[in-house]
Structure 1
Amino acid sequence: MSRREAEVASGLRTALEWKCRFFPSEVNEGQLREWHQMYRVPDDVEFVVPGPDDRADDPPLGTVALNQAILAAGLRLPFPRVVRKFLREWGIAPTQLCPNGWRILIGLLVLWDQLGFPRPSIGDFHSLYSFKSDGKRSGWWYASVTARTGSSVVTQTPDSIKNWKKFWFFVRGPWQFTEDDARPDLSIPVRYHKLRYVAREPTGESIERARRAREISESLRSSVVLITEENLISARLSRPSLRPSYSS
């Protein structure tokens, strides 16, 4: 019996076969060095080229799979606590949320910070956006760019991001927590699971915050404008560093 079969039999792993298993990584060491520098990754967090038999849905112990498009969408390492809360609530690994879903999540966090609102809750997000699967049992999920009520709060997300699924890699080291935020109860899933999502009716507060956000010019709510290193640091989604700063 293989390790996978044993884990399925013991209930440690789902029996679903994700289509994503058939997307081997095409990254190389040079790309990983460039991205490590560009996205201000701490020196003790390593990017690792996957082997030919490795899969993003089942990373080696102590690692997590990421891809370049997620970093370009504004995720920074170690994972901010608020981001861990969303992933844990949804029950999915980072690469299961498609890049535009990441842009919407990070953009919303930045915009709410700029407006002086409390961090958006799971309920706030679910009242504004819905999810859809990228094909049957693909393992990937989109946060629908078409908002559940009204226009999208975060605007100007790319129409398409070519080949993003192929440029994934493993991350090891202290990638999940900062030294002062080691919360095992907020650890994120690293293996692929079915999304946990319940659509919610907007609360009065959610409606009012969305209304105030939409009063701002669409150009200023653009993911391109919102997701910059300066804004990420201001929103406590990235940490100041001696490394050069790049826009996302």
Structure 2
Amino acid sequence: MYRVPDDVEFIVPGPDDRADDPPLGTVALNQAILAAGLRLPFPRVVRKFLREWGIAPTQLCPNGWRILIGLLVLWDQLGFPRPSIGDFHSLYSFKSDGKRSGWWYASVKARTGGSVVTQTPDSIKNWKKFWFFVRGPWQFAEDDARPDLNIPVRYHELRYVAREPTGESIERARRAREISESLRSSAVLITEENLVSARLSRPLSDRPTAHRPKGSMKDISALLRKKHQGPSQAGKGKLK
């Protein structure tokens, strides 16, 4: 599920672990982010956005991920250049998900014509609760031409600068909105086929096969459910 490389290891956090301060060499993720379209290793364009915003992956709410990934897919389908930070900021702003929470969600800017990516889920229960660490080659592919683009792994205040849309950004958004809303829904845009086409995921044939899997998403979900059943289940576990 989610085409996680075989040599990426899942680690269930212990009672003293924190998503905002992961152990060296790891990053905190959750299943909701992977369901929203993020694939490992992190695509270079996604790393650029996170570096620009200065936030760790789990600081962006799942629907924010859906909007970002959906926008990348839609721009690819329309033959546009990759959306820039300016393109994104001309359509969406950020709001804090609670006072001093460290989490952020994308909000459609007024008078922009509505969200380009439509029909995101109304509610995603417990997404903040069921997080885990990943270790291994989660950040870069072996053939990545820019392995210097490290993403933040600890929580920081989001860097956001409101920008006026350029004429090109306005025209691209207008052309995107000419497409039926149903075809711009997050569920239609974010499919494995579309992710591969937009170079946001790798075909299965490109995945390394020299290592045995460290577990599946089904395994990590089961361990996290067990962990949250009560204090007696809160020990750290690793998937072998």
CA pair 146-247 structure 1, distance change in 2 beyond 3 A: farther
Cα shift readout 1:40-87 (whole Å, capped 9, x = no counterpart): 111111111111110100000000000000000000000000000000
Summarize deviations over 1:7-47 as a string: whole Å, max 9, x none.
xxxxxxxxxxxxxxxxxxxxxxxxxxxxxxx1111111111
Counterpart Cα distance in 2 of 1:227 and 1:247? 28
Deviation at 1:185, TM superposition (A): 3.1
Distance 2:111 2:93 in 1: 6
Larger RCO: 1 or 2 (CA < 8 Å, sep 6+): 2
Partner of 2:239: 247
> What CA RMSD, in Å, does the superposition of the two structures yield over aligned residues?
6.2
In the alignment, the residues of structure 2 paired with residue 53 and residue 203 of structure 1 have an alpha-carbon distance, to the nearest angstrom, of 47
Indicate conservation of the 8 Å contact 2:120/2:185, yes or no: yes
CA distance in 2, matches of 1:170, 1:50: 7
Task: Say which SS state the counterpart of residue 113 (structure 2) adopts.
Answer: coil
C-alpha spacing 1:143/1:247, structure 2 compared with 1 (3 Å): farther
CA distances 1:70-124 after superposition (whole Å, capped 9, x unpaired): 0000000000000000000000000000000000000000000000000000011
User: C-alpha displacement at 1:149, in angstroms?
Assistant: 1.4
Q: TM-score normalized by structure 1?
A: 0.80
Asked if the contact 1:93–1:192 (Cα under 8 Å) also holds between the matched residues in 2, the reply is yes
User: Distance in 2 between the 1:149 and 1:99 partners?
Assistant: 22
- Aligned mates of 2:239, 2:75 — CA distance in 1: 19
Q: List runs of 5+ in structure 1 lacking aligned partners.
A: 1-37
State whether residues 129 and 146 of structure 1, in contact with CA within 8 Å, keep that contact through their aligned partners in structure 2. Answer: yes
Percent identity of paired positions between Structure 1 and Structure 2? 93
Partner Cα distance (2:194, 2:169) in 1: 22
2:111 matched residue in structure 1: 148
- Cα contact 1:228–1:246 (8 A) shared by 2: no
**Matched residue count:** 211
Given the superposition, is the C-alpha separation of residues 246 and 161 from structure 1 closer, same or farther in structure 2, using an over 3 Å criterion? farther
Q: Are the structure 2 counterparts of residues 108 and 72 from structure 1 closer, same or farther at C-alpha, using a change threshold of 3 Å?
A: same
Aligned to 1:137: 100
Call closer, same or farther: CA 1:148–1:96 in 2, change over 3 Å.
farther
Q: 1:159 to 1:214 in 2, by over 3 A?
A: same
Give 1:183 deviation, angstroms.
3.1
Is the CA contact (8 Å cut-off) linking 1:229 and 1:246 kept in structure 2?
no
Q: Can you give the 5+ residue segments of structure 2 that lack an aligned partner in the other structure?
A: 203-230
C-alpha spacing 1:184/1:233, structure 2 compared with 1 (3 Å): closer
**Structure 1 residue 181 displacement after superposition:** 1.1
Deviation track 1:188-224 (CA, whole Å, cap 9, x = no partner) reads 0000000000010000000000000000000000001
CA change 1:202–1:228 in 2 (3 A) is: same
Which stretch of structure 1 is more off in the superposition, 144-153 or 81-90? 144-153
Seen in structure 2, the aligned counterparts of structure 1 residues 79 and 203 have a Cα distance that, compared at 3 Å, is: same
Does structure 1 retain, via aligned residues, the 8 Å contact 2:12–2:237?
no
